[in-house]
Chain A
Amino acid sequence: MKVDRRSFLAFILGGAAGTALSPLPWKVTDDISIWSQNWPWIPVPPKGEISRVRSACTLCPGGCGISVKKVDERVIKIEGLEGHPINDGGLCPLGNSAAQLLYGPSRIQTPLKKVNGRWQKIAWQDAITELAAQLRQLRADGSAHTVGWVAGSDRGTVPELFNRFLNVYGSPNFWRMPSIWDSYELSIYLMQGTRSMAGFDIANADFVLSFGSGLIEGWGSPGYMFRAKSELREAGGRMDQIEPRLSKTAAKADHWISINPGTEGALALGLAHVIIKEQRYNRNFVNGYSTGLAERFQRVIDGFPPEIASKMTGISAGTILTLARDFAAARRPLAICGRGQGLLPGSLQTFLAVHTLNALVGNINQPGGVWAVPEPDYIQWPEPEIDAVAARGLQQPRIDGAGTDRYPNARYLLHRLPEVINASAESPLQVLFIADANPTYSLPDTAAVEKAFEKIPTVVSFSSYMDETSALADMVLPNHTFLERYQDVAGATGFPKPIISLAQPAVEPRYNTRHVGDVVIQLAKELGHTIGAAFEWDDYDSCLEETLGDRWDGLIENGYWVDEAFSGAQWADAFETDSAKFEFTNNDISTLAAYEPVKAEGDEAGYPLLLVPYDSMRLNGDGQPGAPPFMIKALEDTILQGNDVLVEINPASAKQLGLSEGRFATLATPKGSAQVKIRLTQGIMPGVIAIPRGLGHTADNRFLAGKGVNYNQLSGPIDDPASGHNAAWGIRAKLS
């Protein structure tokens, strides 16, 4: 039989007919449509049981309560905890996107040690043994004081464990990361005699006068400030914002008063001058519960009549008069200070001037006022035995000069550390531990900080991430993230009541990480002797449970403990100064260097502009931890376009310099330079330019690195003559 073309065609036709009569084409079409509607390579979250864990956020000292939503053992969402006294269901973008910090790719998965510049894995026990040997040798050499510890906060059991360790080991060199709370605490200490945190009853005030504080940009506890600001506005309260740039807070305020940067103190003194001269102060408070007003007026305030203050601040004398009268006439006026998110401590005299305003209107420890909130006192551990070596070490002066004759009032001056180290032939610090902080990123003058940290023989980072500090460290002992561990959060920045929140693990640790509290306890036990004896707990969790005592069960159940009835001490009992009154001035205050606006670094001829940083709720200015991808994606394109940061400049200044919108320019300061894109805006004073804080990360993080510029790279610190804290608010700059 001949198989020719026709037979073949017949075969094909028969095949086509048979195929059409079989289920094949119809079934394949159906299956392909299902396949194409459900691409198998698109990740689909597995279903499971939904549960929630009541916990607390430890990413900043704001103390917000969180509700961690899980599907089975997977965290899928973090929300503010309903009914929590601080944030009542609200939460900032950083807390909201923290699940990305748990699952993100920049986690450090195991302890690491740098050998010849390369990271090598090391077993936990080996790391602890090695560190203990080094620490033992330093003690034997009489160099116990060359060990230092940097922590994000100094409240709560974890920082207390660090402190206790240094204490029994023999070093006075503990640091908390710098912030405006250094200046606030010191102001309250100098004028009221108590070591307290500053709390602000913003919700019950009726006029908030903010000297540049970013109430809705992360100042204080963001969860509380957002809520309190809304309550203030809903109740018809007034809010005035004083700063050279139209921030989000300024945009939401009743009045935005543009001021020459760095002269806020002069304005506060000018306002005080009007209030005193016109006798608009609260007589009951000033006459009955304070001393030194006349002396302070004579020594300081008298030098700032409205005309002088106007000249310094650039605000008209008329505005100063009206503002002072309105402030004094309000029923519950409240003045607050500390710029943006409050990351730079600022000038102590400015804080004293603003606190003076509050005292003049008598709103200390009053509804709608500023409250001295006692630090929580639940940490009552037995006094440890200090051996002779430790006692000798503790007598050594602090490396940063805090508490010495030069800066008697300051407790921590971390920004001075790089300068001290770089000026010494051999690093005065031999070992530096860093926990819950990223100083290499967030201290001013990045180049100097890096140089100093590289000079320290052993830097140990407890970060869970390969951030800028870990990258520079010699050893990384990764902590659990806050979603994997227990930790108490004592107090909350700017919140007016004593509160303790408890972070509880939502999931089992994902990697070979260890609670930093456990590492301290194990390191102490390894060192043995009086050091081990001071840490009798088996582990951190039992230490925490024992420390919290009766409060433990309630904290586990509710997630927080708050002294609801607290409303600040009565004036008669509130002040622990020598006079037992509020002291507008006293020996300590009068010996401080006088107020003078802090000048920005750099010469005016070479650097005609003033560069100031600004903060955004969608950026984490202190870089610990860096912003998760969610926040970066949510950034406005007025802040970041692609990888380019925008510098804000007034059109008038831009015209003078021949710069136009969207053009690239080189931004140079005495500390460094960077490429930026020009953004013209009327929302900034002529002559002043601004870039955001929280960008320009360099560490190994593909979602964050290389985006924008780190402001700290371009800026430097300025020692405040009154306190020693970093008083810088900006730096001179040029654009070309």
Chain B
Amino acid sequence: MTTEEQANAATVKDQHATAPPPETAPAAKADDSGAGGPIILFFILGLAASLIVGWVVFPKVLYSQKKQPIEFNHVLHNELVEDGCESCHFFREDGSYSGVPTLDQCIECHEEVNGEDPEEARFVNEFVANNREVPWLIYSRQPQNVFFSHAAHVKMGEMDCVTCHGHIGESESLPIYKQNRISGYSIDIWGRNISGIKRNSWDRMKMDDCADCHRQEGVNQNSVQTLRGGCFVCHH
């Protein structure tokens, strides 16, 4: 059976029972006249089972689910700080990006328990008291072989945080971190939709998404450092 026929079979899978039998069927019939039906049935069974495995089971098995070490409410914090996102996620003096806040930043307000939230108490007792950094799980961490500069995108390209990170700043709790068991990176890189369909710019952060945006925005297609095009813009 050719791939084309397989594709046809899949698109009309509900009508398979009445569809003309595939080419292999007549050959089978020649040997055993009563087996045509069961063969088609087994084909459909195999097809259905693998489609279920591929579309339903596989995505569930591929990712392990991890909770963040501490619950965090962006909305609540945003109300209390002065500079919005920049209060905690800022550019350092040398232009590098601070990313997820370190314990030192948290301690500025949370040296002791301020409120009544048990998560805050847990944070202070487990991390602040022991001077232990919170091992935050980072949804947007790109693979190690990708060079990415926040300064180039936010300062030079004047992009806003939402374009890539979505509305995480308006969240009241942190989503479950789904880690790819093979690559080790977060589901948010491929996108939560297993078929890779994206509705929003922040749904996916694969190489093609970077490339599309770079093309759309007319970004220099050559690396500034190496003056080479293609891969070397992001892969050094």
The interface of chain A, by Cβ under 8 A from chain B, is: 1-4, 6-8, 10-24, 27-28, 30-32, 34-35, 37-38, 40, 44, 47-50, 72
Interface residue? B88 (CB, 8 A): no
How far is the CB of B211 from the nearest CB of chain A, in Å?
Answer: 15
The CB with the most chain A CB atoms within 10 A, among B1, B40, B47, is that of B47
Mind listing 5 A-B residue pairs with CB under 8 Å? A7-B39, A11-B43, A17-B1, A19-B54, A34-B143
The CB with the most chain B CB atoms within 10 A, among A3, A10, A19, A72, is that of A10
Interface residue? B125 (CB, 8 A): no
Partner of A15, one of B24, B50, B102: B50
A2 CA / B28 CA spacing, docked (Å): 14
Interface residue? B81 (CB, 8 A): no
Partner of A18, one of B28, B32, B42, B48: B48
Contact A14 B44 (CB under 8 A): yes
Contact A22 B42 (CB under 8 A): no
Partner of B47, one of A6, A18, A28: A18
Partner of A32, one of B7, B49, B59, B182: B182
Q: Which residues of B contact A13 (CB under 8 A)?
A: 1, 43, 46
CB-CB nearest in chain A for B9:
A17
Q: Which residues of A contact B59 (CB under 8 A)?
A: 23
Q: Which residues of A contact B96 (CB under 8 A)?
A: 49-50
Contact B92 A49 (CB under 8 A): yes
Interface residue? B136 (CB, 8 A): no
A50 CA / B55 CA spacing, docked (Å): 45
How far is the CB of B1 from the nearest CB of chain A, in Å?
Answer: 6
Interface-located stretch among B72-80, B168-176, B188-196: B188-196
CB-CB nearest in chain B for A35:
B183
Given contacts A23-B196, A34-B185, contact A10 B46 (CB under 8 A): yes
Contact B35 A6 (CB under 8 A): yes
How far is the CB of A449 from the nearest CB of chain B, in Å?
Answer: 45
Partner of B182, one of A1, A35, A48: A35
Contact B183 A31 (CB under 8 A): yes
Q: In terms of DSSP, what is the predominant structure of the interface of chain B?
A: helix
Q: Which residues of A contact B183 (CB under 8 A)?
A: 31-32, 34-35, 38
Interface residue? B10 (CB, 8 A): yes
Interface residue? B26 (CB, 8 A): no
A1 CA / B194 CA spacing, docked (Å): 37
Q: Which residues of B contact A2 (CB under 8 A)?
A: 35, 38
A683 CA / B196 CA spacing, docked (Å): 69
Q: Which residues of B contact A17 (CB under 8 A)?
A: 1, 6, 9-10, 43, 46-47, 50
Partner of A72, one of B43, B49, B102: B102
CB-CB nearest in chain A for B98:
A49
Interface extent on B, as a size class?
Answer: 35 or more
How far is the CB of B19 from the nearest CB of chain A, in Å?
Answer: 14
Partner of A14, one of B42, B53, B54: B42
Apart from A7-B38, A17-B43, what 6 extra A-B contacts exist at CB < 8 Å? Answer: A8-B42, A14-B45, A20-B3, A22-B54, A40-B184, A49-B92
Partner of B50, one of A18, A37, A47: A18
How far is the CB of B208 from the nearest CB of chain A, in Å?
Answer: 11
How far is the CB of B96 from the nearest CB of chain A, in Å?
Answer: 7
Contact A23 B58 (CB under 8 A): yes
Interface residue? B130 (CB, 8 A): no
A17 CA / B39 CA spacing, docked (Å): 15
Interface residue? B18 (CB, 8 A): no
Kindly supply a per-residue 1/0 record for chain B positions 20-33, scoring 1 wherever the CB is within 8 Å of any chain A CB and 0 otherwise: 00001000100110
Report B191-221 residues with CB < 8 Å from chain A CB: 194-196
Interface residue? B180 (CB, 8 A): yes
A35 CA / B182 CA spacing, docked (Å): 6
Q: Which residues of A contact B9 (CB under 8 A)?
A: 17
Contact A7 B143 (CB under 8 A): no
How far is the CB of A508 from the nearest CB of chain B, in Å?
Answer: 10
How far is the CB of B38 from the nearest CB of chain A, in Å?
Answer: 5
How far is the CB of A2 from the nearest CB of chain B, in Å?
Answer: 7
A48 CA / B102 CA spacing, docked (Å): 9
Q: Which residues of B contact A38 (CB under 8 A)?
A: 143-145, 183-184
Interface residue? B99 (CB, 8 A): yes
Q: Which residues of B contact A15 (CB under 8 A)?
A: 46-47, 49-50
Q: Which residues of B contact A34 (CB under 8 A)?
A: 143, 182-183, 185
Partner of A7, one of B42, B55, B62, B194: B42
How far is the CB of B49 from the nearest CB of chain A, in Å?
Answer: 6
Given contacts A2-B38, A22-B55, contact A27 B49 (CB under 8 A): no
Given contacts A38-B183, A72-B102, contact A18 B49 (CB under 8 A): yes
A323 CA / B184 CA spacing, docked (Å): 71
Contact A27 B58 (CB under 8 A): yes
Contact A31 B54 (CB under 8 A): no
A7 CA / B31 CA spacing, docked (Å): 13
Interface residue? B107 (CB, 8 A): no
Q: Which residues of A contact B43 (CB under 8 A)?
A: 10-11, 13-14, 17
